Amino acid sequence: MEATLTYMKFPTILLALMGALVLAGCDNPALISLEPAVTAQEALFDPALLGTWESGQGGDLVIFRHGDGNSYTLTYVGDDGSSRKFDALLFQAGQARLLDLSPHDPDDFQVPGHTLIRVWVTSGSLRWAYLDSAWLRQQAAQELPNRPRGKDKMALMAPSAALRGFLAKYAADDKAHGEIGELQRVK
């Protein structure tokens, strides 16, 4: 009986830790996944992402470096000098090109969540948006196992294959993402 109660409390504890620790730092997306959307073997590699990107003159920097295999190491440097490092995998979901972003240096007190970002790359600019709109969360609530993370946030508990199928269906819809940000290539 005790083991059953402990097991039943685990998702609640897990979500509390995740909410408190996973996304400390830069903007907190409203939708995260506990499972990756893609594996390193399935990921795509686009050299056009490599380099340094800036949000306006003297603004935040995003630095893409080639990681292992088809992965990227992404470093976010805020205009205040703070920095955060992520692992990123690029993949195609239907008509949308997406990044699966997760913390680079997880620790024992952190549940490494996966943030999904839609990207559009041209020669001099990188447009991006979190896949976390209220509309997308509503679709996810109906189709995928999930848990609320506060008032307007959700953690997806779906296995990777189910998550990819969901993203192939919805990610290209303009209603799936929030505000689009734009970065300019620095070098």
Q: What is the pLDDT of residue 94?
A: 94
**What's the domain count of the chain?**
1
The yes-or-no verdict on residue 19 having pLDDT over 50 is no
* Residues 6+ away with beta carbon under 8 Å from 95: 172
Structural domain including 161 reads: 2-185
The yes-or-no verdict on residue 10 having pLDDT over 90 is no
> Looking at residue 56, what DSSP letter applies?
S
Nearest Cα to Cα of residue 152 among 118, 170, 178: 178
Axis crossing angle, helix 134-143 with helix 160-170, rounded to the nearest 10: 130
Model confidence band, residue 2 (pLDDT cutoffs 50, 70, 90): very low
Helix (H) or strand (E) holding 168: helix 160-170
**Strand-pair partners of 183:** 126
**Strand-pair partners of 66:** 72
The yes-or-no verdict on residue 135 having pLDDT over 90 is yes
* Residues 6+ away with beta carbon under 8 Å from 132: 29, 30, 31, 116, 177, 178
Q: Confirm if 37 and 91 have CB atoms less than 8 A apart.
A: yes
Q: If DSSP codes are grouped into helix, strand and coil, which group holds residue 67?
A: coil
What is the distance between the alpha carbons of residues 81 and 169, in angstroms, rounded to a whole number?
38
Nearest Cα to Cα of residue 178 among 117, 122, 97, 121: 117
Q: What is the pLDDT of residue 187?
A: 67
The yes-or-no verdict on residue 84 having pLDDT over 50 is yes
